[in-house]
Amino acid sequence: MTWPPPYPYDRLNELKAVGEQFAGGLVDLSIGRPYDPPPTAVSAALASSGLEQGYPPSVGTAALREASARWLRRRFSLTVEATQLAACVGTKEFVASVPGLLKLRDPSRDTVLYPAVAYPSYAMGATLAGLRAVPVAVDDQWRIDLSAIERADADRALCLWVNTPGNPAGGVDDLGAAAAWGRANNVPVLSDECYIEFFWDRPAVSILEHGTEGVLAVHSLSKRSNMAGVRVGFYAGDDDLVHYLSECRKHTGMMVPGPAQAAAVVAFDDDEHVDHLRGVYLERLQFLIELLDTYGVDAQMPAGSFYLWVQAPTGDCWDLTRSLAADLGMLVSPGEFYGEVGKGHVRVAAVEPIEKLRLLQDRV
């Protein structure tokens, strides 16, 4: 392997130039980058907290942890004490760094299990820590297949990642079964739930519904509140695991900046902007489904998240990626970014404003 491994999305730079040749420019649907503004009150809190000069607590301020716990209780009827959760600097750094800390906790194990079609950072976290990254098969609805985990891999596993609703395909795992599998095999189950506010065909689910023993739920404000640039998230669940990780992270200086924590409190206490944002994403998804149908490509509404997982007519993700860039000025992500099993698909992120998406209608 080339070291460091290439960042997948850098491979799209050449196609960006292709899309920029269209009147109105590139319509970039390749990355789940929020284009909508956060709530005004959040921006005001970020600018006026007065917390710039001091070192913020790595675990998160009491106000942030309490607001996070209130949000879980209010939106999802989940009871988690503020002491059972801790802040992280956005969740990507947590995903990428946690395998190394788990290895220190249990040096006898060396394997990270994750869905075979998944966000690349689950595997990369293992790779960066010098560990084995082992993909777990998914079924025809893009749900993790726990029965496919080999006994030898389970015995070596430091953790099992699940992601619901899933990125890129929008699948919804049986989180109760995942929690039970982890407890039976003495493997922590880490549930990435950053799209929990964006379920479309059913009520939201969390692994915390099935107890906190041996599990962590990982949450973020990047998608929920358009705060990707502010970098605030948290992990919650098993008391011992939260304590261990938060104590380790103190030593590495993993601290959410004070102003960001103050802004996060405001965001977690406000549901109105999220309800509005759900409608925005739903409109975009439906628009893109119709647009792709006109283009001659079938796309289906996901069970959750704000991505379309689209099968490439030729079976080659790069064929469709290049065609969409050349014909429509639309940039999408080749499915191989999300694992070998994804090579026949592309991911379309419904992130650009509807006014920008309408440019595509004139190009079909």
Q: Which helix (H) or strand (E) holds 310?
A: strand 307-311
What's the average model confidence in pLDDT over 274-279? 97
Q: Whole-number mean pLDDT of the chain? A: 97
What's the average model confidence in pLDDT over 215-232? 97
Asked if the model's pLDDT at residue 117 lies above 90, the reply is: yes
**Residue in 119, 74, 331 with CA at minimum distance from that of residue 218:** 119
Where does the chain have alpha helices with state H? 13-19, 40-48, 62-76, 92-105, 121-128, 151-156, 175-185, 221-224, 239-251, 258-268, 272-295, 317-328, 354-357
Model's pTM, two decimal places?
0.96
Asked if the model's pLDDT at residue 1 lies above 70, the reply is: no
Q: Which helix (H) or strand (E) holds 237?
A: strand 233-237
Domain with CATH 3.40.640.10 in the chain: 40-268
d(CA 113, CA 115): 7
Q: Does residue 186 come out as left (phi exceeding 0), alpha (psi in the -120 to 50 range) or beta?
A: left
Percentage of the chain modeled with pLDDT above 70: 100
**Residue in 85, 145, 81 with CA at minimum distance from that of residue 113:** 145
Q: Determine the pLDDT at residue 88.
A: 98
Q: Determine the pLDDT at residue 275.
A: 97
Q: Determine the pLDDT at residue 2.
A: 72
Asked if the model's pLDDT at residue 192 lies above 90, the reply is: yes
Domain with CATH 3.90.1150.10 in the chain: 8-30+272-363
Percentage of the chain modeled with pLDDT above 90: 98
**CATH level 3 topology of 40-268:** Aspartate Aminotransferase; domain 2 (3.40.640)
d(CA 27, CA 92): 25
CATH 2.70.98.10 fits 8-30+272-363, yes or no: no
Asked if the model's pLDDT at residue 4 lies above 90, the reply is: no
